[in-house]
Each structure stands twice: as structure tokens, then as C-alpha cells.
Amino acid sequence: MTIKMSDIAKAAGVSLATVGRVLHNNGYVSEEKRQEIERIIKETGYIPNRIAQGLKKSRSKIIGHLTLFNPNMQYQEISSAVNAAAAESGYQVLTLTCHQGSGEEEQQINDLIGHRVDGVIITSYQALSQEWIGRLLERQIPVVMVERTYDMPLVDRIVVNDLAGSKEAVRHMLHKGHRRIAFVGAALDYQVEKDRYAGYLEALKEAGIVPLEQWSQLMPGYSVEAGRKAIDELLHARVSPTAVFMTSDIFACGVLQVLYERGLRVPDDLSLIGYDNTLSALLSPPITSVGLPFEKIGDHAIRLLLRRMEDPGVSACSVGIDPFLMDRHTVRERQEEQSL
């Protein structure tokens, strides 16, 4: 049942105007009565409607987009693609960005509900629990999840084939004659990271290669500093790699800094491939990277929302996205090595 402002007024034994003064913190209300009204609001889960009542029976033409802050540009690219696709369909996008571990999830969900958004896109935001997504569904607000997703009824998903993307990158290195191929990625806390690591291992297994333990650098998070630490470990490995596959362009920034400081050149001394094809084009040298078709992701996200707006009960749909390899020639040819 939807809680109305009049329900709050009735439960507190006050007028609508008094409830309004508490909600907007505008005007006098006794401290005792204010506390009582705030308690009722909290207990009932009431969320104020921030859109004019005249829109009550029509669409707001606003789509909410929830995503995480990240120093990399992947989420920014997805956000831009979503905005462009939404504009083509006559919608505006309200984007809310959360910092990992900030505890902003409840407030953001309430803000979107309060703005009467017609649908919500959630990009790579697994700090947002299924319970909070359920609050959107209870209010018949369609949800599309991108990249890091949950398998939930009535929630549509856009899933990147990260295993295939990693596999293609490592196969490219193998095709160039490399056998000592290292991996730099984030800790295997989510399926995305697990798939990228699995693609690396599967490609090597196909080639009959068992990588040394030191060649797998699993870092606590995505950052330039993590890239610096990873390449420092690899350069001190018992058997040094000739090529490094990194699961984010942000790692490549740190890797290149260390290589430059030590007078090592790419690809002459070390071959590199990044992931997400964002920062890679801006580096020196620009590096080969696994790219995502951001425009396609944005188009699919909006189409899935519009589809569910028209038919709320339609079965959940999962759209697969295949990455591609943007070759900038930072993997050099070398004679195939017979042993490690």
C-alpha cells in the first residue's frame, strides 16, 4: 500500500500543513510533535513525491541511473551512452553516483522513488542489495542491471561476456609468440573479475601453458597505485613475463609509469593489453585494449526499460554483450619459446 501525506497527518493528529512544515523544515512545529511526525514517517516508510501532483497519472519522462564512482572512464562512457539513447526516446536521465562503502543506497533509492522515475538502470552497483531493488519493483518501477547483475524475476540484464574478452586478448598474445604471459586484475570478489581471470587461464590451458603463481597479480581494487605494485612484483618474478594482460586501463596507467621510470619500452621490452578501451587511447604509447560497445549497451538498456514500461509482466530478458579487441600494436612478435 502506498503511504500518503494525509496518512501521516491522520496518524499524528495534525494538519497536512504541519506535516509539510516538518518535511520541508519550513515553519514552526513544536519539538514534541516534530519528533512524533518524524517517527511515523520512518515507521511507515513514507517517501515524499517531488513531482507535481498533476503528473500523477502520467509518466515523468525521467529515468534514474545508479552507478559507482570509479577513477576509470568505463562507467562514464556507459552513462553517456545511456543519456544519448534516453534523449532519442524523449527521456531525461537522473544519474546518482555512489562511492563504495558510503552507505548511500537507501537515500538514493528513496530519491528516485520520490522523483517518480519511470525506470531505473543500475550499472555495476552490487553494493545495492536485492532488497533495495525489490523496493523499486514493489512500486512497479522497471529495473535494468548492467554488467554486475542479479538474476531476479522481472529484472532485465545486460551482461558483458568478460570471459570471451579476456580469452581473445590472451590468444592475441599467444598468436604473437608469447608464452610467458602475466595477469593483473582485481580480487575475485565478483563474477566479472572471476570471468576475466578464467578467460586468461583458459587461453593458456588451450596452449598447454601452466602459468607461474607470481604471474597472477590479484589486487585489492582498481587504481593506478595497484598497477604500479603489480608490475613491480612481476619485474621481480623468478621468471619474468614477456607480456602482461591487465583487466582495466587504470592498471595500465600505473604499469606504464613504472616501466618509464626503469627505462623499459612498450612493446620492445614488454608487451601490454588493457581492458575497457577508455584510458588506453590516451596513454603513451596508446595500448591495445579490450573494448566494450558502449553505444550498444546504452541502446539496449533504454529499449529494455521501454519494453517493460509497456508490459510490466513480461519475462526477464538477459542481453549478452561481446567485447572487441582494439589493436594498437603494443604486443610485439617474438619467436615462440619452447619452455618456461
Place of cell 558510503: 102
Least trusted range by pLDDT, from 64-78, 176-190, 312-326: 64-78
Note the pLDDT tens digit of each residue in 221-235.
999 999 999 999 999
pLDDT band at 50 (very low <50, low <70, confident <90, very high): low
* β-strand pairing of 143-146 with 155-160: parallel
Closest CA to 64 of 136, 153, 151, 158: 136
- What is the chain's length? 340
What CA–CA distance (Å, rounded) separates 278 from 80?
Answer: 13
Give 336's DSSP letter: P
**pLDDT above 90 coverage of the chain, percent:** 64
- Do residues 121 and 64 touch, judged by C-beta distance below 8 A? yes
Note the pLDDT tens digit of each residue in 108-159.
998 999 899 999 999 988 778 888 899 999 889 999 999 999 999 899 999 9
Q: Is 68 helix (H, G, I), strand (E, B) or coil?
A: strand
Strand partners, 39: none
**The dihedral formed by the CA atoms of 164, 167, 171 and 172, expressed in degrees to the nearest 10:** 70
| Most confident residue range from 37-51, 194-208, 303-317 | 194-208
What CA–CA distance (Å, rounded) separates 23 from 2?
Answer: 17
Could you tell me the maximum CA-CA distance found in the chain, to the nearest angstrom? 84
Helix 74-88 to helix 294-310 angle (10° resolution) is 50
- Can you give the pLDDT at residue 337? 57
Note the pLDDT tens digit of each residue in 170-224.
999 999 999 999 999 999 998 999 999 999 999 999 999 999 999 999 999 999 9
Confidence (pTM): 0.79
pLDDT at 55 over 70: no
CB atoms within 10 A of CB 41: 20
Mean residue pLDDT across the chain: 90
Give how far Cα 281 sits from Cα of 70, 116, 270, Å: 18, 39, 18
Helix %, strand %, coil % of the chain (to 5): 45, 20, 40
